[in-house]
Amino acid sequence: MVKTSTGLEDNVAGLLCYVAGWVSGLIFLLIETENKFVRFHAVQSIIVFGTLNIIGIAFGWIPFFSLFMWPLVGGVWFVLWVVLMYKAYQGMIYKLPIAGDLAEKWSSKPTK
């Protein structure tokens, strides 16, 4: 495994990008400047869990509808959370539809 600028192995840092949802993704995106693997997982975490968070909040404002949607959004959140952490720990760049393509494009190192 490759060490990152944070001193962690890249698979561990990739897993940690998902631990606290979009928040940990944002933290790793800001502190990891070199490792493309970690930056990919950080951006994918921000996109996936940020979107699910917004959806959950939006459905929370709709009476009765939220009773059915919260468990669905929560279930999707949990399954994606486990799968993405597992795949990152295996050292895989596991691209989800749409979010993975965006993460691949947006995770490239910014030019100076």
pTM: 0.88
Residue 79: is it exposed, middle or buried by C-beta count within 10 angstroms (0-12/13-18/19+)? exposed
Q: Which letter, b or e, does each residue of 38-57 get, where b requires 16 or more Cβ atoms within 10 Å of its Cβ?
A: bbbbbbbbbbbbbebeeebe
Domain ranges for the chain, please list them.
10-106
The residue ranking higher by pLDDT, 68 or 87, is 87
Please report the pLDDT score of residue 112 as a whole number: 45
At 76, which amino acid appears? Answer: V
> For 7-33, what is the mean pLDDT?
95
- Asked if 16 and 8 count as a contact pair (C-beta separation under 8 A), the reply is yes
Please report the pLDDT score of residue 47 as a whole number: 97
Q: What is the mean pLDDT of the chain?
A: 90
The DSSP H or E segment spanning 78 is helix 65-89
The pLDDT tens digits for 77-103 are 999 999 999 999 999 999 999 999 999
